[in-house]
C-alpha cells in the first residue's frame, strides 16, 4: 500500500483540532503610517505607565518595543498628528542590557556592598552560617602538632634499637606506602618517615565508636622527639613522603601472641576534667559531671584541643585532678574505671557536632574527683573488686563477703 502524501494527510478529518491554530497578533508596520503601532503603544502606556521594553521577557512586549523603537526614529505625519500623549517626544531612560559592560560605579567592591543593596533581599539562612567554625578560630588554632622532645623516651629507646637491628638483619621487612593509600594507624604500628622510625604509641579517639580520621595520635620518633597529629594529617604526610615505609609486624597474624609485640604498655596518667561548656543541658551539672580519661602524653596537651573534640563535649575543660600510673596497663585501667562507675554515667548526655549529628560521649560520669582518687588507689592495691559505687549515696561501698556453707557428704 503506497504511503499517503501530505495532501492526503491534510484532507483527512481533523479529529483533535490539531490544525486549528490561532493566528498571532500582528503589529502594523510603517506602511500604514504606524498609527496602529502608536495606538498599541498608547494602550500599553496607559496600562503600565511606561513604554514597552524591547528587552522584556514577555514576547509580545518585546516585539512591540522593538517595532516602536524603529518607528519613533522617523515618525510619519499621521503618527505625529495621532500622538495625543506626546510619546514620540518623550525620552525613555535607556534599559540596561546584560550584554553591555557595567559602569565602574556600579561594580561592587566586596560582598558587604552586595548585601547592603536595598534592592537585594537575601534570606537570613543564606548569610547566617551554622555548624561552621568561625574563620578567626580556624586561623588561630590553640593546638599544633609540632615536634617536641619526648620526656619518657627511655621507655622507647630499646624498642627502636630492637626494630632497627631486625631490619638490618632482614628479620623484618618494610613496604612502600602508596601515594593514595588509606592508612588507619593504631597503637603499635611502626612506620619510616623522613628516614626516622616512627612508633604509634596511642590513638586518642574523638568519637564514641569506630575508627575516625579525626582521631589524634601520639607518635614517638627514633630521634627522641614526639608529636600528636590528627590521623588525616599523618596520613597525608606519609603519602607526600616518597621514602615513607610501613614496617612489617612480628608474628603470623592477629591470633599470634607476638603480633602486638610493638605495642608497649606505656605508663600513663589518669586525669579528671570538668567541662566549661555553656550548653544549657550541661552547665547546671558542671560541678559534678566529670570526664575520666587515661593518656600516655602530657595531660595539658591532651586537653588543649578540647573545644574541637566531641569527647570533651566540644568545649574547654578544666583538669581538676591527675593520678600517675605505675606499672599498670593504661587501657585496662581506663576500662576498669569506666566499668566501675558505669551506674553514674548519664544516660541521655549528648551533644550536636558541627554537622548537627548527635554524639554520645562515654567517658563522663556524675562523680567527684575524690571518688576517682579512691578507686585509683584501690586499683594500685588490687582491691577494686572488693568495692562498688553506690549512686544514691555517692560513695564507694565495700562488698559484703559471701557466706560459705559447708557441704556435708552423705554416706
pLDDT in tens, 42-58: 889 888 888 888 888 88
Percentage of the chain beyond pLDDT 70 is: 80
Q: What is the mean pLDDT of residues 169-176?
A: 89
Confidence (pLDDT) at 1: 66
Determine phi and psi for 226, rounding to 5 degrees: -145, 165
> Is residue 133 very low, low, confident or very high in pLDDT (cuts 50, 70, 90)?
low
Question: CB of 376 within 8 A of CB of 324?
Answer: no
328-370, pLDDT tens digit by residue?
778 888 889 999 999 999 888 888 877 778 878 889 999 999 9
Question: CB of 26 within 8 A of CB of 13?
Answer: no
pLDDT at residue 102 greater than cutoff 80 = no
311: left (phi over 0), alpha (psi -120 to 50) or beta: alpha
Q: What is the residue extent of each domain of the chain?
A: 26-130, 148-260, 269-398
pLDDT at residue 278 greater than cutoff 50 = yes
pLDDT at residue 290 greater than cutoff 70 = yes
- What value does the mean pLDDT of the chain take? 81
pLDDT at residue 201 greater than cutoff 80 = yes
In the numeric block, which cell numbers belong to residue 346? Answer: 548519664
Determine phi and psi for 51, rounding to 5 degrees: -80, 155
Confidence (pLDDT) at 411: 47
Distance in angstroms (rounded) separating the CA atoms of residues 218 and 200: 6
297-326, pLDDT tens digit by residue?
888 888 888 888 888 888 899 999 998 887
Percentage of the chain beyond pLDDT 90 is: 14
> Is residue 132 very low, low, confident or very high in pLDDT (cuts 50, 70, 90)?
low
259-278 as b/e: b if 16+ CB within 10 A: eeebbbebebbbbbbbbbbe
Q: What is the mean pLDDT of residues 206-222?
A: 72
How big is the chain, counted in residues? 411
Question: CB of 155 within 8 A of CB of 266?
Answer: yes
Q: Between 194 and 136, whose confidence is greater?
A: 194
pLDDT at residue 263 greater than cutoff 80 = no
Confidence (pLDDT) at 7: 82
Confidence (pLDDT) at 314: 86
Confidence (pLDDT) at 30: 47
Q: Between 273 and 402, whose confidence is greater?
A: 273
> Is residue 191 very low, low, confident or very high in pLDDT (cuts 50, 70, 90)?
very high
Confidence (pLDDT) at 32: 58
pLDDT at residue 292 greater than cutoff 80 = yes
Confidence (pLDDT) at 291: 93
In the numeric block, which cell numbers belong to residue 335? Answer: 576500662
Confidence (pLDDT) at 11: 81
Confidence (pLDDT) at 409: 53
> Is residue 136 very low, low, confident or very high in pLDDT (cuts 50, 70, 90)?
low
> Is residue 171 very low, low, confident or very high in pLDDT (cuts 50, 70, 90)?
confident
Q: What is the mean pLDDT of residues 53-77?
A: 86
Distance in angstroms (rounded) separating the CA atoms of residues 291 and 294: 10
Q: What is the mean pLDDT of residues 274-287?
A: 88
Amino acid at each position: 500500500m503506497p504511503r499517503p502524501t501530505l495532501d492526503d494527510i491534510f484532507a483527512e478529518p481533523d479529529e483533535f483540532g490539531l490544525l486549528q491554530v490561532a493566528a498571532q497578533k500582528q503589529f502594523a508596520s510603517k506602511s500604514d503610517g504606524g498609527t496602529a503601532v502608536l495606538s498599541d503603544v498608547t494602550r500599553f502606556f496607559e496600562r503600565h505607565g511606561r513604554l514597552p521594553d524591547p528587552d522584556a521577557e514577555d514576547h509580545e512586549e518585546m516585539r512591540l518595543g522593538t517595532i516602536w523603537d524603529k518607528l519613533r526614529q522617523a515618525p510619519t505625519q499621521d503618527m505625529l498628528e495621532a500622538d495625543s500623549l506626546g510619546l514620540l517626544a518623550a525620552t525613555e531612560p535607556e534599559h540596561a542590557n546584560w550584554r553591555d559592560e557595567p559602569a565602574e560605579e556600579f561594580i561592587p567592591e566586596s560582598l558587604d556592598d552586595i548585601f547592603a543593596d536595598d534592592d537585594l533581599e537575601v534570606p537570613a539562612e543564606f548569610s547566617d552560617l551554622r555548624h561552621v567554625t568561625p574563620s578567626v578560630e580556624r586561623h588561630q588554632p590553640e593546638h599544633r602538632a609540632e615536634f617536641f622532645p619526648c620526656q619518657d623516651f627511655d621507655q622507647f629507646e630499646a624498642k627502636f634499637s630492637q626494630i632497627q637491628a631486625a631490619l638490618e638483619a632482614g628479620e623484618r621487612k618494610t613496604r612502600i606506602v602508596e601515594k593514595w593509600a588509606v592508612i588507619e594507624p593504631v597503637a603499635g604500628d611502626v612506620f619510616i618517615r623522613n628516614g626516622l622510625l616512627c612508633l604509634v604509641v596511642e590513638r586518642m579517639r574523638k568519637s564514641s565508636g569506630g575508627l575516625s580520621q579525626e582521631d589524634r595520635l601520639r607518635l614517638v620518633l627514633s630521634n627522641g622527639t614526639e608529636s600528636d597529629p590528627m590521623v588525616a594529617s599523618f596520613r597525608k604526610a606519609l603519602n607526600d613522603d616518597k621514602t615513607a615505609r610501613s614496617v612489617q609486624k612480628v608474628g603470623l597474624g592477629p591470633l599470634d601472641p607476638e603480633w602486638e609485640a610493638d605495642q608497649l604498655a606505656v605508663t600513663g596518667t589518669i586525669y579528671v576534667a570538668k567541662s566549661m561548656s555553656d550548653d544549657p543541658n550541661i552547665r547546671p551539672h558542671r560541678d559534678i559531671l566529670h570526664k575520666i580519661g587515661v593518656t600516655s602524653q602530657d595531660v595539658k596537651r591532651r586537653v588543649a584541643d578540647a573545644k574541637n573534640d566531641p569527647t570533651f563535649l566540644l568545649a574547654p575543660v578544666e583538669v581538676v585532678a591527675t593520678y600517675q600510673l605505675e606499672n599498670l596497663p593504661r587501657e585496662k585501667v581506663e576500662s576498669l574505671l569506666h566499668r566501675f562507675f558505669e551506674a553514674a554515667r548519664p544516660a541521655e548526655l549528648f551533644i550536636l557536632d558541627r554537622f548537627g549529628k548527635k554524639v554520645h560521649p562515654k567517658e563522663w560520669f556524675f562523680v567527684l574527683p575524690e571518688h576517682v582518687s579512691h578507686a585509683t588507689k584501690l586499683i594500685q592495691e588490687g582491691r577494686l573488686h572488693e568495692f562498688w559505687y553506690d549512686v544514691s549515696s555517692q560513695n564507694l561501698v565495700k562488698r559484703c563477703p559471701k557466706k560459705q556453707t559447708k557441704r556435708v557428704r552423705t554416706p
